[in-house]
C-alpha cells in the first residue's frame, strides 16, 4: 500500500479521535445522551455545573486518570503514525513496515477507547499493550532501514532513537501496575500531583512517568518539525548547519535529562530547561532557512506555518513557562506565589493547557505537511492557513485563561470563563473549520493517484 494511503488513514483516524474527544466534553452532554453514549462519564470532574481538581472518591478518580492515560496514548499513537507516514513518503522509503505500524495503531486505538470508555476488562487492556509493542517493533525496524544522507537526516535518526528509549521507560512505568503496592503508590502520586506536583516527588514511578511524558512529546514535535522542513525544502548555509546542530544537541540533551528525572528528580530541570531552549532556538533558526514558496500555495502555508509556529512557541510556551517557573515559589509575577494553594486550579489549568498546545501544534504541523505533499491548489492553501490562524489564536488566548484569572478556588465551570467563551472557543472554531476543509481537499487530492 502506497504511503499516501497510509496518510489518508492517519488523517482520518486523527479526525475521528479528536471528534470523539470533543463529543466527550461537558457542553455535549445532551448530544451524547441523544445518540446513546453515557451522559456522565465515571469519575468525571464535572458535576452539577462545577468542576473539581479530581473526583474525591479514589476509585472514581482512578477511572478518570485511566481514561486520560489511555486516550492520550491513542492520540499519540495516531500522530506518530501520521508523522512516520509523511516521513516514509518524503524519503521515498519502502512502505511495508507502515502496514505493521498501522496494525499496532489500530490495536492501540481500539483497545484504549473500549477499555477506557466501554468495557473495562483485561482483554481490551491487553490489546492496547500489545498494540504499543507492535508500534515499537515497527519503529525499530524502520530505524534500521533509515540511512541519513545529510545532517538534517541525523536529527530524524537521533529523535527516533531517543523516542524508542523513552518508550522503554514508558513500558517500565506501565509494568508498575503488576505490583499492587507500587500501583497504589503511583495512583496516590498522580492524584496528589493535581493539587501540588511537589507532593508526588517521592514516587519513583511518577517521576519516571513525567520524564517520559515530557520527552516523548518534545521529541515527537522535533521529529515532525524536521519532516516538515524536508517537505518544504531548506536553503543551505552556515546558519542552516548551525541550526541543525542546535536541534540535534537540544533534542539529545533535553531527552536524556528528562529521562534522568526518574532517578535524579526535579534537579534535572537545571539541564532540561537550557537544552529545551537550545532545541527551540534551533527550530526557530531553521524555520527561517526554509525555501520561500508563494504564501498562497500549500508549501507556502507550510513554510509560514513553521515560522509563525516557532515564534508562537517562544511567545506562548517558553515565555509563559519562564514566568510560571520564576513565580513558582516566590511572588514575582503572581501574588501569592504560583505554587500557593489559592492558585492550585490555575496551575492545573496551565499544566493541562500546556499539553494541549503542544499536541495542537504537532497536529496542525502534520496537516500542513500533508497538504504540501499532495496538494497544489489555492483552496488547499486557504484551508491550511485557516487551520493555522485558528490554532495560533487559540494558543495565544488559552494563555489568558490559564494565567490571567485571579486566584480563586477551582469551583466555577470553566466553560463559562470569559477568555474561553470569547477568545479560545471562537479561535478553535476557526481551526476546526480549517481542519475540516483541509481534510476534504487532502482526501480528494490524495486519492487522485498522481501524488
Task: Write down the residue that cell numbers 512529546 correspond to.
Answer: 217
The residue extents of the domains of the chain are 339-451
Residue 90 — φ and ψ, nearest 5°? Answer: -70, -40
Is 83 exposed, middle or buried, given 0-12, 13-18 or 19+ CB atoms closer than 10 A?
buried
**Facing residues of 47 across strands?**
50
Per-residue pLDDT, 46 = 67
d(C-alpha 426, C-alpha 371), whole Å: 24
SS3 of residue 242 by DSSP: helix
Stretches in the chain below the pLDDT threshold 70 = 46-51, 406-415, 449-451
* Per-residue pLDDT tens digits for 15-74: 999 999 888 887 788 888 888 777 778 777 765 555 678 888 899 999 999 999 999 999
SS3 of residue 405 by DSSP: coil
For residue 60, which of 120, 141, 125 has the smallest C-alpha distance?
120
Per-residue pLDDT, 254 = 98
d(C-alpha 387, C-alpha 367), whole Å: 9
**67 contact partners, CB below 8 Å, separation of at least 6:** 41, 43, 116, 117
Cell, residue 137: 517493533
d(C-alpha 444, C-alpha 430), whole Å: 21
Amino acid at each position: 500500500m502506497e504511503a499516501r494511503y497510509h496518510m489518508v488513514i492517519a488523517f482520518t483516524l486523527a479526525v475521528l479521535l479528536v471528534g470523539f474527544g470533543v463529543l466527550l466534553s461537558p457542553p455535549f452532554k445532551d448530544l451524547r445522551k441523544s445518540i446513546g453514549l453515557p451522559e456522565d462519564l465515571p469519575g468525571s470532574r464535572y458535576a452539577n455545573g462545577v468542576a473539581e481538581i479530581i473526583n474525591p472518591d479514589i476509585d472514581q478518580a482512578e477511572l478518570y486518570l485511566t481514561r486520560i492515560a489511555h486516550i492520550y496514548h491513542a492520540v499519540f499513537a495516531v500522530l506518530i503514525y501520521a508523522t512516520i507516514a509523511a516521513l516514509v513518503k518524503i524519503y521515498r522509503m519502502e512502505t511495508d513496515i507502515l502496514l505493521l505500524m498501522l496494525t499496532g495503531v489500530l490495536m492501540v486505538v481500539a483497545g484504549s477507547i473500549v477499555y477506557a470508555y466501554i468495557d473495562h476488562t483485561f482483554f481490551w487492556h491487553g490489546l492496547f499493550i500489545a498494540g504499543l509493542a507492535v508500534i515499537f517493533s515497527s519503529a525499530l525496524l524502520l530505524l534500521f532501514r533509515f540511512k541519513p544522507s545529510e545532517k538534517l537526516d541525523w536529527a530524524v535518526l537521533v529523535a527516533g532513537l531517543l523516542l524508542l528509549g523513552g518508550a522503554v521507560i514508558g513500558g517500565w512505568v506501565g509494568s508498575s501496575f503488576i505490583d499492587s503496592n507500587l500501583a497504589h503508590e503511583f495512583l496516590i502520586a498522580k492524584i496528589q500531583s493535581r493539587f501540588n506536583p511537589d507532593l508526588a516527588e517521592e514516587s519513583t514511578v511518577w517521576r519516571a512517568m513525567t520524564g517520559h511524558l515530557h520527552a516523548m512529546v518534545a521529541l515527537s514535535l522535533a521529529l515532525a518539525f524536521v519532516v516538515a522542513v524536508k517537505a518544504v525544502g531548506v536553503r543551505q548555509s552556515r546558519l542552516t548547519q548551525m541550526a541543525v546542530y542546535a536541534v540535534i544537541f537540544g533534542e539529545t540533551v533535553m531527552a536524556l535529562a528528562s529521562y534522568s528525572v526518574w532517578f535524579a528528580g526535579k534537579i534535572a530541570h537545571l539541564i532540561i530547561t537550557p537544552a529545551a531552549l537550545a532545541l527551540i532556538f534551533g527550530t526557530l533558526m531553521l524555520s527561517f532557512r526554509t525555501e520561500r514558496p508563494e504564501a498562497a500555495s500549500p508549501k507556502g502555508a507550510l513554510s509560514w506555518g513553521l515560522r509563525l509556529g516557532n515564534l508562537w512557541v517562544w511567545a506562548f510556551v517558553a515565555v509563559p513557562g519562564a514566568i510560571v517557573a520564576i513565580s513558582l515559589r516566590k511572588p514575582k509575577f503572581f501574588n501569592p506565589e504560583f505554587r500557593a494553594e489559592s492558585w492550585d486550579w490555575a496551575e492545573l489549568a496551565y499544566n493541562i493547557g500546556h499539553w494541549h498546545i503542544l499536541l495542537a501544534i504537532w497536529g496542525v504541523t502534520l496537516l500542513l505537511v500533508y497538504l504540501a505533499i499532495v496538494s497544489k491548489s489555492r483552496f488547499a492553501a486557504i484551508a491550511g492557513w485557516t487551520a493555522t490562524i485558528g490554532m495560533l489564536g487559540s494558543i495565544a488566548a488559552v494563555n489568558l485563561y490559564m494565567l490571567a484569572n485571579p486566584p480563586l478556588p477551582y469551583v466555577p465551570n470553566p466553560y463559562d470563563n470569559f477568555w474561553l467563551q470569547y477568545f479560545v472557543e471562537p479561535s478553535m472554531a476557526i481551526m476546526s473549520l480549517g481542519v475540516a476543509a483541509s481534510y476534504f481537499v487532502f482526501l480528494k487530492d490524495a486519492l487522485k493517484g498522481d501524488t
